[in-house]
Chains A and B, each alone.
Chain A
Amino acid sequence: MTDRRSGATAVTEKPKTAFWNDRDVRAVIFQILIVLGVLAVGWYLVHNTLANLEQRKIATGFSFLGREAGFSIGESLIPYSAADTYLHAIWVGIINTLLVSVIGIALATVLGTVIGVARLSTNWLVARLASVYVEGLRNIPLLLQLFFWYSLVSEALPPVRQALKLVPDYVFLSQKGLRVPHIVDHAIYGWMGLLVLVGIIGAFLWRRAAARHQEATGKLRPVFWPTVGLLIGPAALLWLVTGAPLTLEKPELRGFDFRGGGTLSPEMIALLIGLVTYTASFIAENVRAGILSVPKGQWEASRALGLPNGRALRLIILPQALRVIVPPMTSQYLNLTKNSSLAVAIGYPDLVSILNTTINQTGQGIEGVALIMAAYLTVSLSISAFMNWYNKRIALIER
């Protein structure tokens, strides 16, 4: 609108009006009033807050971060004890939030895509089942679903001593969560990781060379199997050559609990099941809309070219569907990340839960809430930045 008006003023002489009727003057006055209003309200709130804080003898500032937290945290990827600082506890919370979000996003994308495609199946029963899933899950509050899963995991499952043996001797499921074997670290694992990294670069170069070769000669070179080979081949070779070292630390029942192995806590399991199944119902709808948005003629054209169904989907349909799918998918990823904060209700120590404990102990509500907001804004902005970059990459380039 701005340019239109400036364009107009350039052509015609500005008519003489009283200054209070001039739009530009009015806009300036209006904005000054807004700023004054915001400042006045802000000053009033800050003034009251400072007075209240002083009266309640609450210190302001972030110095509490360096003090000893004094509470224990149920699960953590990094070492933590109650003697550590608040800052360290919050860091544990951030890592827990990120862990749940990353696993959740990956699983929800897979499940959502499968269900979205299933809703479009020509098989009536499959399509119906998928719609029942979608309608059922997205019309019930996530919190209720989380309570449900949590109760189910922590009460309906057998106690530790009668744990379900999902894989006898290796994987156990009980009220205390899922117990899995732990791989004992070995010196060559680091080298294997390095080889996988090299493999990724190699696969990338091979794909680029193959694409160039196709553009130059029109001949297809195999891409899929060489990629797989490059990715895992060298690492697997090294592993085999060094005598396939693999020591699993099996979980063993001793006394009242398992020793050894790794655990997925009941809270984490309930949170993941809830988040993944709930978000998948929304992702399924995005995927369905995306695939439906590709005109039928594109399928027909790719069949006319003689492309098999799988390749038609991968080369013709999906690239077009993704343009419709990616932007709403971004919001679903953000929603999942934000919804993971419901963990506080079932006791998984995520960022919000830990900061809530911190606020209750120190009384520093403002700083605590500010930290929550800052952390989530950082995560949200990074996810949207990444998805926007990806979106731009796959967006329609019109010639």
Chain B
Amino acid sequence: MSVQTTSAPIEKPPVTEVGVIGWLRANLFNSPFNSVLTIACFALIVYILQAILPWALFKAVWSGTPKDCQVEGVGACWAVVSEKNRFTLFGRYTYDEQWRPAVAILLFLGLIGLSCFRRFWGKALIWAWVSQVFIWAILMWGGVLGLKFVSHEQWGGLPLTLMMSVVAIVVAYPIGIVLALGRRSDMPVARSLCVAYIELIRGVPLISVLFMASVMIPLFFPEGVTVDKLLRAQIGFTMFLAAYLAEVVRAGLQAIPKGQYEAADALGLGYWAKMRLIVLPQALRLVIPPMVNSFISTFKDTSLVIIIGLVDLLNAGKIAVNDPPWRSFYVEMYVYIALIYFAFCFTMSKFSQRLERDLSKATSR
């Protein structure tokens, strides 16, 4: 009887289980059905790429005149984007002054960037957002500090889109909180008014709210008072958003354990002190991710102002390709605008997902 003294040599795992092949087997070909699916998907991807890539990249025209694009056999005409870029981004804003909306956009991007880091979260950030609204007003309107005055009828493009969403959020946010508190209040009159408002607005499409704002607001004010088209759209937009934010906040309020209310009562705090110091800070923190989602939909929804004739980003792009020589290149323009919207929305949505994970980690510990 012999005793084995040396241990068996360590066998490498079979090549079919590790590395690229192993990964392929585990993820793409782990059953006959999946193999068929993989091949079908692969064929689909190849088909789409061979249809799109030559058009979008290899045969595309990157700069030049419409004539360069109308040559037989060329692909996408990205020249339309570079040619019309300034109109698309800034609308009819005075051409020489367009650095001002550009600065305003950069400022906004910077502030968004800061807001993404939780270490900057605090009172200062809120004030930064509020003061940003004023800085925007100065930059966009001008007329002070030696800046030339530019009427808001000339505003357009990306700054208009950003501004409408930011103003709507900043103004609708407190209104939404008041509505949510009202909806959960035990005063029947206040509660039913809030419920009626929220349900009425949420039950109808945004377009009808915008129509209402544009048709009815002029009737509401005494003779001689004219409310500008932009302001009317902004009011309609804010009213709409407030109703949706109210529901988001209500969800947060409902999630606060009853004990927190009772503890605040036990401390002898009044209603407003209880809400301001105990309940709202916790509730609002809980609903930050859905609030970011609200912000994303608001950003996308601003495109609807095209229907009452404001020149936002989408409308500016549409007007730009109405120029007869460039008319046949609408697809390129739509793709460009879609990419801008996508960049904003996708970043915010990824941010909100990360936040959701972080916050749930913090609470589940």
Q: Is A147 an interface residue, CB under 8 A from the partner?
A: yes
B255-294 interface bits toward A, Cβ cutoff 8 Å, 1 = contact, 0 = none: 0000001000000000000000000000000000000000
**Cβ contact within 8 Å between A31 and B187:** yes
Q: Identify which of B58-66, B103-111, B167-175, B299-307 touches chain A.
A: B299-307
Please report the C-alpha to C-alpha distance between residue A309 and residue B261 in the assembled complex, in whole angstroms.
48
Q: Is B215 an interface residue, CB under 8 A from the partner?
A: yes
Closest chain A CB from B90 CB (angstroms)? 19
**Cβ contact within 8 Å between A366 and B331:** no
Q: Is A338 an interface residue, CB under 8 A from the partner?
A: yes
Q: Taking CB as reference atom, which chain A residue is nearest B29?
A: A123
Cβ < 8 Å to A, chain B residues 217-245: 218-223
> A376's contact among B204, B218, B301, B334, by CB below 8 Å, is which?
B204
Closest chain A CB from B243 CB (angstroms)? 13
Please report the C-alpha to C-alpha distance between residue A124 and residue B189 in the assembled complex, in whole angstroms.
55
Cβ < 8 Å to A, chain B residues 283-341: 296, 300-301, 303-304, 306-307, 314, 318, 328, 330-331, 334, 337-338, 341
Q: Is A264 an interface residue, CB under 8 A from the partner?
A: no
**Cβ contact within 8 Å between B38 and A352:** no
Q: Identify which of A51-59, A86-94, A205-213, A240-248 touches chain B.
A: A51-59
Please report the C-alpha to C-alpha distance between residue A52 and residue B300 in the assembled complex, in whole angstroms.
35
**Cβ contact within 8 Å between A1 and B204:** no
Q: A122-B30, A129-B41, A377-B203 are in contact. Are A369 and B330 (CB under 8 A)?
A: no
Q: Taking CB as reference atom, which chain A residue is nearest B335?
A: A148
**Cβ contact within 8 Å between B41 and A126:** yes
Please report the C-alpha to C-alpha distance between residue A97 and residue B304 in the assembled complex, in whole angstroms.
18
Q: Is A143 an interface residue, CB under 8 A from the partner?
A: yes
A240-264 interface bits toward B, Cβ cutoff 8 Å, 1 = contact, 0 = none: 0000000000000000000000000
Q: Which residues of B contact A55 (CB under 8 A)?
A: 223
Cβ < 8 Å to B, chain A residues 144-189: 144-145, 147-148, 151-152, 155-156
Q: Is A135 an interface residue, CB under 8 A from the partner?
A: yes
**Cβ contact within 8 Å between A365 and B219:** yes
Closest chain B CB from A305 CB (angstroms)? 22
Q: Taking CB as reference atom, which chain A residue is nearest B261?
A: A1
Q: A31-B190, A152-B331 are in contact. Are A359 and B205 (CB under 8 A)?
A: no
> B301's contact among A141, A345, A366, by CB below 8 Å, is which?
A141
Please report the C-alpha to C-alpha distance between residue A291 and residue B41 in the assembled complex, in whole angstroms.
23
Cβ < 8 Å to B, chain A residues 25-51: 27, 30-31, 34-35, 38, 45, 48-49, 51
Q: Is B349 an interface residue, CB under 8 A from the partner?
A: yes
Q: Is A373 an interface residue, CB under 8 A from the partner?
A: yes
Q: Is A140 an interface residue, CB under 8 A from the partner?
A: yes
Q: Is A2 an interface residue, CB under 8 A from the partner?
A: yes
Q: Taking CB as reference atom, which chain A residue is nearest B300?
A: A141
Q: Taking CB as reference atom, which chain B residue is nearest A359?
A: B215
Closest chain B CB from A96 CB (angstroms)? 14
**Cβ contact within 8 Å between A121 and B330:** no
**Cβ contact within 8 Å between A48 and B331:** no
Please report the C-alpha to C-alpha distance between residue A305 and residue B307 in the assembled complex, in whole angstroms.
58
**Cβ contact within 8 Å between B28 and A125:** yes
Most chain A CB neighbours (cut-off 10 Å) among B42, B207, B328, B338: B207
Closest chain B CB from A354 CB (angstroms)? 13
Q: Which residues of B contact A380 (CB under 8 A)?
A: 203-204
Cβ < 8 Å to A, chain B residues 323-365: 328, 330-331, 334, 337-338, 341-342, 345-346, 349
The size class of the interface chain A forms with chain B is 35 or more
Q: Is B212 an interface residue, CB under 8 A from the partner?
A: yes
Q: Which residues of A contact B131 (CB under 8 A)?
A: none
A-B interface pairs (CB < 8 A), number = 158
Please report the C-alpha to C-alpha distance between residue A234 and residue B204 in the assembled complex, in whole angstroms.
44
Q: Is B193 an interface residue, CB under 8 A from the partner?
A: yes
Closest chain B CB from A103 CB (angstroms)? 18
Q: Is A344 an interface residue, CB under 8 A from the partner?
A: yes
Closest chain A CB from B5 CB (angstroms)? 44
**Cβ contact within 8 Å between A373 and B208:** yes
Please report the C-alpha to C-alpha distance between residue A381 and residue B204 in the assembled complex, in whole angstroms.
11
Q: Taking CB as reference atom, which chain A residue is nearest B218?
A: A52
Q: Which residues of B contact A138 (CB under 8 A)?
A: 345, 349
Q: Which residues of A contact B328 (CB under 8 A)?
A: 155
**Cβ contact within 8 Å between B190 and A34:** yes
A276-297 interface bits toward B, Cβ cutoff 8 Å, 1 = contact, 0 = none: 0000000000000000000000
**Cβ contact within 8 Å between A147 and B212:** no
Q: Is A342 an interface residue, CB under 8 A from the partner?
A: yes
Q: Is B128 an interface residue, CB under 8 A from the partner?
A: no
Q: Taking CB as reference atom, which chain A residue is nearest B191?
A: A31
Q: Which residues of A contact B187 (CB under 8 A)?
A: 27, 30-31
> B304's contact among A152, A155, A342, A377, by CB below 8 Å, is which?
A342
Q: Is A199 an interface residue, CB under 8 A from the partner?
A: no
Cβ < 8 Å to A, chain B residues 31-50: 34, 37-38, 41-42, 44-45
Q: A345-B306, A372-B208 are in contact. Are A144 and B337 (CB under 8 A)?
A: yes
Q: A126-B37, A141-B301, A345-B307 are in contact. Are A338 and B186 (CB under 8 A)?
A: no
Q: Is A139 an interface residue, CB under 8 A from the partner?
A: yes
> B200's contact among A143, A144, A156, A377, by CB below 8 Å, is which?
A377
Q: A27-B187, A38-B193, A341-B205 are in contact. Are A123 and B38 (CB under 8 A)?
A: yes
Q: Which residues of A contact B216 (CB under 8 A)?
A: 49, 365-366, 369
**Cβ contact within 8 Å between A352 and B205:** yes
Q: Is B27 an interface residue, CB under 8 A from the partner?
A: yes
Q: Is B211 an interface residue, CB under 8 A from the partner?
A: yes
**16 intermolecular pairs with C-beta atoms under 8 Å apart:** A1-B261, A27-B186, A30-B187, A34-B193, A49-B216, A125-B45, A135-B346, A139-B346, A140-B338, A141-B341, A142-B300, A143-B306, A339-B205, A342-B207, A365-B215, A380-B203
8 further interface pairs, Cβ-Cβ under 8 Å (given A141-B300, A369-B212): A34-B193, A48-B219, A125-B28, A139-B300, A342-B207, A369-B215, A372-B204, A377-B204
Query: Chain A: residues with CB nearer than 8 A to chain B?
Result: 1-2, 27, 30-31, 34-35, 38, 45, 48-49, 51-53, 55, 121-126, 129, 135-136, 138-145, 147-148, 151-152, 155-156, 338-339, 341-342, 344-345, 352, 356, 359, 365-366, 368-369, 372-373, 376-377, 380-381
10 pairs of A and B residues whose beta carbons are closest in the complex: A365-B215, A139-B345, A124-B27, A338-B205, A341-B205, A141-B300, A31-B189, A141-B303, A380-B203, A372-B208
